[in-house]
Chains A and B, each alone.
Chain A
Amino acid sequence: MGEYGFSLHPYFKEMPGIGKDLPREMKQNVDEIKRVEKELADAVKKVTDAGKAAQDINSKGEMTAWQRIEYLVDSGTWCPLHTIYDPDTNEEGTTGVIDGLGKIAGKWAVIIASNNQIMAGAWIPGQADNILRVTDMAKRLHIPLVWLLNCSGVKLTEQEEVYANRRGNGTPFYRHAELEKLGIPVIVGIYGTNPAGGGYHGISPTTLIAHKDANIAVGGGGIVSGMSPKGFIDQETAENLIEATQKLNAAPPGRAEIHYLNTGFFREICETEEKVLDKIKQYMKDMPAYHPDFFRVAEPAEPKYPASDLYSLVPFNQRRVYNMKEVLARLFDNSEHMEYRPDYGPEVYCGLAKIDGYLCGIIGNNQGVLGSNYPEYTDQYQGIGGKLYRQGLIKMSEFVTFCGRDRIPIIWLQDTTGIDVGDTAEKAELLGLGMSLIYSIEQTDLPMILIVLRKGTAAAHYLLGGPNGNNNNVFTLGTPTTEIYVMHGETAAAAAYSRRLVKEKQAGKSLEPVIEKMNEMVKDYYDKSRPVYCAQKGFVDEIVRYTDLRNYCKAFVGSVYQNPTSICAFHHMITPRTIKG
């Protein structure tokens, strides 16, 4: 039994079941998916192995950022994000920060660490965007942001890429201030040398906990010694630099003694690296958080069917149809749910389910045949799952609006080929209804996550809880079967080259050169929609194994219900009553 009784238990304690046992393992499918997982694992290893070797860092008496995270985060709760995010294709293969969601001393936090193996945690291209994704998460989830800072400042050979701009490396300082304005604390553990930009990263959080050898400063040794430029470097300048650097290496500006004893900026000073992390745990223990059972609607329970079934249930062949409800059965507590309007808009699943005992709204693309009378606005063609039609778009708008009213967070599962097209579809108002869904999502002011299970295509990728909804989407996950592009490569090649084909044909020329170009385009679309590419470019925030998806869902809902900014009493909710009828 939990700490408290459960409200509205006739609705939530026991819900109707969903799913059935896997008939048989699909060996070839499993192998294909595992092959992509291996590619992903290789890409992750490249990042974790990048830069200075861990033993070199350890031999100086320091921990690596990965080791600090491991010590800090409660076992089994770490959900890494942006591991291979590298939108600017840096030579380092990373943005130089490590982040994710995890529990510290029993409470969820968004955690980010400077990767001290990469140029002593320097600002490198793409890092600002990575940090802003992270501050956005803390804002949307309304949970603390914890920094493990160890930042040497701008990578000087690429300053034009990182220093300036609207979303440059100065922007996070404003975001930290914004989080504080919203009542969200930023806690920082400070290690090593943090000059200039690193100094502002150090001073901008709410609570500063420093290691005894750490420093934060307006400018570091290098800057202090070169503040009066002559326009060139000569022998005298070089000699002066040597002298100043030797002096400043011995005593860099902004040492712990200055900012603990003199300014008092450092709230705590710790003898060892571990003690900095212990202090963070102590502060996290006192962060505002509801007892988990306060918002639970039932005892947490694992799904009845194992997540490993997903390797057989989700076809690697993108054209192969499957049953989305069997996927959902492997995510929901006890494989139970309450479906919203199952007989209306059959291309879309909307329903309530429990994740770790918490109530959650779920929206997903059903797959396969939808029946001969659907969509209802035409008898010229039949509908198929993955596409969106009039009823499905209306149903989703209704459902997200109800969830917004009832303050129920939403998880989207996307596998879409787009919205129905043509004049019949236009007459059925699909363009307007698509935008209506975006409007409905924005009005909810709800935290949501998206899992791009397979295809994220066309504007439907935006509508279905897409990452573009910056005020709602907390993060987006991909899987080994994810592919994201505006349209399939063949469709794009046809759109781009069909007129050219006609022209060449009329001129009596060979079609081969055009066909070759079209096939190049098809391959390019394929290469630039693969899971690794999607994660590197930031189309998704992480590619996750099927068996880890539920952990991320649990981290999400647990974070949402930890300290929400608005609540709805369960007995005031309308969504479950509407479903019951």
Chain B
Amino acid sequence: MAVVESPLAGKILEINVTVGQTVNEDDEIIILEAMKMENPIFAPSTGTVKEIKVKAGDRVNEGDVLVIIE
């Protein structure tokens, strides 16, 4: 199981996956807006999206869990 955490504080701009979806390593799963930049968050490994903890527009802090991939 891979837990995808937010690398920095910011706002969730886009969520590109849905629960149950298969993702490949390095797929862009979330776009996080921080420091006026849009930072893609990549899937750390290939697997299935088990849980999405955030929705577009949410503010997150560094270390917050965003997605769980199984």
Contacts and interface: CB of A to CB of B under 8 A. Distances in A.
Interface of A: 23, 317, 319-321, 367-369, 372, 381-382, 384, 386-387, 417
A369 B40 CA distance: 10
Nearest to B63: A372
The DSSP consensus for interface residues of chain B is loop
Given A23-B24, A369-B7, A382-B9, A319 B62 contact: no
A205 to B, nearest CB: 50
Contact of A321 (B9, B24, B26, B39): B39
A417 B35 CA distance: 11
A368 B26 contact: no
Given A23-B26, A23-B27, A321 B8 contact: no
A495 B1 CA distance: 48
Task: Give the one of B24, B27, B31, B37 with max A CB within 10 A.
Answer: B37
A319 B36 contact: yes
B37 A384 contact: yes
Contact of A320 (B24, B27, B38): B38
Interface in B28-67: 31, 33-40, 62
B8 A386 contact: no
The DSSP consensus for interface residues of chain A is loop
Nearest to B40: A321
Contacts of B39: 321, 368-369
Nearest to B27: A23
Contacts of B27: 23
A317 B36 CA distance: 12
Given A23-B24, A369-B7, A372-B62, A384 B35 contact: yes
Nearest to A368: B39
B24 A384 contact: no
Nearest to B24: A23
Given A23-B24, A23-B26, A369-B8, A384 B34 contact: yes
8 contacts: A320-B37, A320-B40, A321-B39, A321-B40, A372-B8, A382-B9, A382-B35, A384-B34
Contacts of A386: 37
A397 to B, nearest CB: 25
Given A23-B24, A369-B7, 11 more contacts: A317-B38, A319-B33, A319-B36, A320-B38, A321-B37, A367-B37, A368-B37, A381-B35, A382-B34, A382-B35, A384-B35
Nearest to B25: A23
Task: Give the one of A317, A367, A369, A417 with max B CB within 10 A.
Answer: A369
- Which 8 A-B residue pairs are closest in the complex by CB-CB distance? A384-B35, A369-B7, A319-B38, A321-B39, A320-B38, A23-B26, A382-B8, A369-B8
A367 B35 CA distance: 12
A367 B36 CA distance: 13
A319 B14 CA distance: 14
A368 B36 CA distance: 11
Interface of B: 7-9, 24, 26-27, 31, 33-40, 62
Contacts of B37: 319-321, 367-368, 384, 386
A107 to B, nearest CB: 45
A319 B24 CA distance: 24
A320 B36 CA distance: 9
A85 to B, nearest CB: 32
A372 B7 CA distance: 8
A384 B7 CA distance: 11
Nearest to A370: B8
Contacts of B9: 382
A369 B5 CA distance: 13
Contacts of B34: 369, 382, 384
Nearest to A490: B36
A367 B34 CA distance: 13
Nearest to A372: B62
B62 A321 contact: no
Contacts of B40: 320-321
Contacts of A368: 37, 39
A369 B35 CA distance: 10
A320 B34 CA distance: 11
Nearest to A386: B37
A457 to B, nearest CB: 12
A321 B7 contact: no
Contacts of A321: 37-40
A497 B7 CA distance: 35
B23 to A, nearest CB: 11
Contacts of A320: 31, 37-38, 40
Contacts of B35: 381-382, 384, 387
A384 B34 CA distance: 9
A321 B10 CA distance: 14
Nearest to B41: A369
A121 to B, nearest CB: 48
Contacts of B31: 320
A475 to B, nearest CB: 29
A35 B62 CA distance: 37
B7 to A, nearest CB: 5
Task: Give the one of A319, A372, A381, A386 with max B CB within 10 A.
Answer: A319
A368 B38 CA distance: 9
Contacts of A369: 7-8, 34, 39
Contacts of B38: 317, 319-321
A381 B33 CA distance: 15
Nearest to B7: A369
A417 B36 CA distance: 10
Task: Give the one of B9, B24, B39 with max A CB within 10 A.
Answer: B39
Contacts of B36: 319, 417
A367 B33 CA distance: 14
Nearest to B35: A384
Contacts of A367: 37
B42 to A, nearest CB: 9
